[in-house]
Chain A
């Protein structure tokens, strides 16, 4: 294999790794807006569940960052 610039690989890591969490966050946001629009009286309950989901999705991006910053 030819010599590959490590910064190219790092750029690809964060670029490709951010796709999944971004789509996930968008889906969560759409679902939350829809749910609050349908029944606004349980907004607090929906938002607390949404924060749990955001935390779960955000962990994927955190793993990407972890790989990005710990590889030389």
Chain B
């Protein structure tokens, strides 16, 4: 016998297709992502237009404060002004877009407006495809940055050291390559799991509450808002620390190897 707690339908794991645009199937998550992206671009362009030395507009003031705050955090992590200037635009874009997409899940009208019996809008990050796209983009940038900074040879040595024929180095190198792949997988699964799991939890708690569902959902909703912020911040900071680690560990290894070589010859 099924207990009443589980006697409800949670939204399906995959996004539901809405209509076809040529060969491309538009799902409800893609539609929401496009709408959120357009809204963000419009808002931020308005803020950038209104930006001046003595900000008169409230919007520009808030956006500038956010950017200043985030820039301080990122430059503290990088410890390098050139690298911050280069990668901060990507990181702040990731943060703002992921945060906006996470928070859409608890707006009214999302998942309740329907179109041909499928919900018209659904939070963009509750689809594994979208978080996979973000993770592939981020890890691609990390690898390209590593290869550009330390070269193909250094990139290879970053995994397999400078003596790849030794069995232990080979084994550790293979583990490192596997770890790099796991970073990609965990980056996408973490964001998807937290946001999707949170929304399913919200739904379940609402179903438990019955007529008082709105009251039981309230504390979970605050928890959900907190986790939306934490996950967006985490995605940004993890990308930043992967960028730092992709080259700094090489320097360390290199210096260790150099000291070893120096000790051997001395």
**Which A residues are closer than 8 A to B by beta carbons?**
5-7, 10, 45, 48, 51-52, 54-56, 58-59, 61-66, 69-70
Q: How far is the CB of B211 from chain A (nearest CB, A)?
A: 23
Q: Is B110 an interface residue (CB 8 A)?
A: no
A5-B223 Cα distance, complex, nearest whole Å? 31
Question: Count of chain B residues with Cβ under 8 Å from any Cβ of A?
Answer: 27
Residues in chain B near residue A62, CB distance under 8 A: 190, 193-194, 196-198
Tell yes or no: B2 within 8 A of A by CB: yes
Complex interface: chain B residues within 8 A of A45 (CB): 76
Q: Is there an interface contact between A63 and B189, defined as CB atoms closer than 8 Å?
A: yes
* CB–CB B193/A63 < 8 A: yes
Contact residues in B for A69 (Cβ distance below 8 Å): 10, 197, 200-201, 204
A53 to chain B, nearest CB (A): 9
Q: Which residues of A contact B198 (CB under 8 A)?
A: 62, 65
Residues on A with beta carbons closer than 8 Å to the beta carbon of B73:
48
Instruction: Say whether chain A's binding surface is mostly helix, strand, loop, or mixed.
Output: helix
Q: Which residues 186-238 of B have a CB within 8 angstroms of A?
A: 186, 189-190, 193-194, 196-198, 200-201, 204, 227, 230-231, 233-234, 237-238
Q: Which residue of chain B has its CB nearest to the CB of A8?
A: B3
CB <8 Å contact, B234 and A52? yes
Additional 17 contacts, C-beta under 8 A, given A65-B193, A65-B198: A6-B2, A6-B6, A10-B6, A48-B73, A48-B237, A51-B234, A55-B194, A55-B227, A55-B231, A58-B227, A59-B186, A59-B189, A59-B190, A63-B189, A65-B201, A69-B197, A70-B200
* Residue in A closest to B195 when the chains form the complex, CB atoms: A62
Inter-subunit contact A7/B6 (CB<8 Å): yes
Q: Which residues of B contact A5 (CB under 8 A)?
A: 1
Residue of chain B at shortest CB distance from A49: B237
A66→B234 contact, CB < 8 A:
no
Query: Which residue of chain A has its CB nearest to the CB of B235?
Result: A55
Minimal beta-carbon separation of A2 from chain B (angstroms): 15
CB of B197 within 8 A of CB of A55, answer no
CA distance A56 to B231 in the complex (A): 9
CA distance A66 to B200 in the complex (A): 8
Q: Are A7 and B190 in contact (CB under 8 A)?
A: no
Out of B1, B186, B227, B237, name the residue touching A52 (CB < 8 Å): B237
